[in-house]
Amino acid sequence: MPPFVPSDFCVPDTLATSEFRLRMLTVNDVVKDYDAVMSSVEHCRTIWGGKWPEGLTLEQNLIDLGWHQKEFQIRRSFAYTVVAPDESMVLGCVYLLPASKAGYDAEVFLWIRQSHLQSGMEDRLFDAVRQWVAADWPFKAVAYPGRSISLADWKNLSSL
């Protein structure tokens, strides 16, 4: 299997706007990330379907964040935390993953805290991420399941 990104590709450290900043998700984010996830359970379920994060504990979240951090470090996938510009709050996450479906080379999922949905922040995050991925990442065919393609249609595509 070819690498997700070329070995000479410089993975972006951040994406910053006046409203939020993306940076690598790490174990140091566990408390603020857990708060963001658990305050947004219903919204998170609309992103992926299923029951997650039902029953998620702080310890399980720490393990999950450690896995995301290691995947980022070895360039297998890239999980970014979305934080307020002053780092006072985790606002959500962005995940860049190798495509699991034919016809794509990457898939991107993202979410914003349920409490920030009415402000339109998730739409602004999506627009910023879509532009960032197109401009700064080496992918030719990127899927945004649940956004550029419905989750139902995505699930029905042929898997790699």
List, for residues 86-121, the tens digit of each pLDDT value. 999 999 999 999 999 999 999 999 999 999 999 999
Count CA atoms within 13 Å of residue 125 on its CB side.
28
By CB atoms closer than 10 A (0-12, 13-18, 19+), residue 41 is middle
Q: Average pLDDT in the 74-93 region? A: 98
Phi (first) and psi of residue 5, to 5 degrees: -130, 150
Q: Quick one: tokens of 26?
A: 């790490």
Cα pseudo-dihedral 151, 119, 85, 109, rounded to 10: 0
| Residue position matching structure tokens 């550029």 | 148
This prediction's pTM: 0.95
Domain boundaries, the chain: 18-153
The span from the first CA to the last CA of the chain, in angstroms, equals: 11
Instruction: Name the residue type at position 66.
Output: G
Q: What percent of the chain has pLDDT above 70? A: 99
Q: What is the pLDDT of residue 55?
A: 83
Q: Tell me, rounded to whole angstroms, the distance of Cα 42 from its chain centroid.
A: 17
- 18-153 homologous superfamily: Gcn5-related N-acetyltransferase (GNAT) (3.40.630.30)
